[in-house]
């Protein structure tokens, strides 16, 4: 995993602007979350900009996009800010980087990344935050509902990460024609 933590060239004006746009997309996507009640999000794609940031910029850039985007999206919705969920967004982006940064972007790899996100973030951290914030009984009930919903949406989320990551890499390669495109390989 040579260069996995590399930050050299990460803080150029162009890359910071792209990271800022991805964080802004997180805010926009967060406004369209489908909610049932005040605590239960049925469907959301606000994680996608963090995943794209992880694919393009690695763990450091992806985590930055996830944190700034989550913080701003929470403020834009007017929800109370719960720092645990920002840690979950950052962990999710890190896991996408672990599986997808500078590696061939294939559907099986996206499925593995999404499985890791499901186990670590949804089942682990998400359940912990709900129990801490809403109490043991309510947290357990909400956690079971959230785990079932995310398990049902697992293939949808993996396909979204795969297809959006693939197109983003293709666009980035086209832009970088004639220069080093970052070494990300796309396999059909």
Question: With bands split at pLDDT 50, 70 and 90, how would you rate the model's confidence at 41?
Answer: low
| DSSP E strand boundaries for 95-169 | none
Maximum separation of any 2 CA atoms in the chain, in Å? 58
Rounded mean pLDDT, 136-143? 74
Question: With bands split at pLDDT 50, 70 and 90, how would you rate the model's confidence at 49?
Answer: very high
Contacts of 76 (CB under 8 A, 6+ apart): 27, 30, 31
Rounded mean pLDDT, 60-70? 93
pLDDT exceeds cutoff 90 at 161: yes
Range with lowest mean pLDDT among 66-75, 107-116, 179-188: 179-188
Instruction: For the domain covering 13-175, report its CATH number.
Output: 1.10.1760.20
Q: Check residue 25 and give its pLDDT.
A: 94
pLDDT exceeds cutoff 90 at 9: no
* Site of tokens 């682990």: 124
């Amino acid at each position: 995993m040579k260069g996995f933590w590399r930050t050299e060239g990460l803080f150029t004006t162009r890359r910071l602007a792209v990271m800022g746009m991805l964080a802004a997309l997180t805010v926009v996507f967060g406004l369209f979350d489908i909610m049932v009640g005040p605590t239960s999000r049925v469907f959301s794609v606000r994680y996608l900009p963090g995943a794209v940031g992880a694919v393009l910029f690695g763990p450091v850039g992806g985590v930055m996009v996830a944190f700034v985007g989550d913080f701003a999206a929470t403020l834009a919705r007017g929800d109370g800010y719960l720092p645990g969920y920002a840690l979950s967004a950052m962990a999710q982006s890190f896991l996408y980087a672990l599986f997808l940064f500078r590696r061939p972007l294939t559907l099986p790899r996206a499925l593995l990344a999404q499985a890791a996100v499901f186990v670590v973030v949804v089942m682990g951290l998400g359940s912990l935050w709900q129990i801490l914030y809403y109490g043991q009984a309510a947290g357990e009930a909400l956690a079971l509902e959230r785990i079932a919903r995310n398990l049902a949406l697992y293939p949808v989320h993996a396909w979204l990460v795969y297809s959006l990551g693939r197109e983003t890499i293709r666009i980035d390669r086209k832009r970088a024609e004639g220069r080093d495109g970052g070494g990300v390989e796309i396999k059909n």
